[in-house]
Amino acid sequence: MKEKIHPQYQEATITCICGNVVHTRSTVKEMKINACSACHPFYTGTAKYVDTGGRVEQFKKRYGKK
């Protein structure tokens, strides 16, 4: 490896807007994120899947056999 061209790898703190704090290592000292595994609906099980406007029916109507 070449000397003095790689970024400094150091202790890092990742802070979510929900208040969750994760300590890890990175080239960036501090990061602020909008969603983490503690508050994101996909990971918490509160995600809602809604078939808005009958997407399957619209597809079948448009591209179904005539």
CB count, 10 Å around CB of 18? Answer: 12
pLDDT tens, position by position, 13-57? 999 999 999 999 999 999 999 888 888 877 777 777 766 667 778
pLDDT at 55: 79
pTM: 0.58
Query: Does residue 1 belong to any structural domain of this protein?
Result: no
Distances in Å between the alpha carbon of 12 and those of 23, 26, 28, 31, 40? 6, 6, 7, 8, 21
Task: Look at the chain and report how many structural domains it folds into.
Answer: 1
Q: What is the CATH number of the domain that holds 46?
A: 4.10.80.400
Query: Does residue 24 belong to any structural domain of this protein?
Result: yes
pLDDT at 28: 94
Question: In terms of residue numbers, what domain contains 35?
Answer: 10-63
pLDDT at 40: 82
Query: Does residue 3 belong to any structural domain of this protein?
Result: no
Distances in Å between the alpha carbon of 21 and those of 13, 14, 17, 54, 64? 7, 6, 9, 40, 50
Query: Does residue 48 belong to any structural domain of this protein?
Result: yes
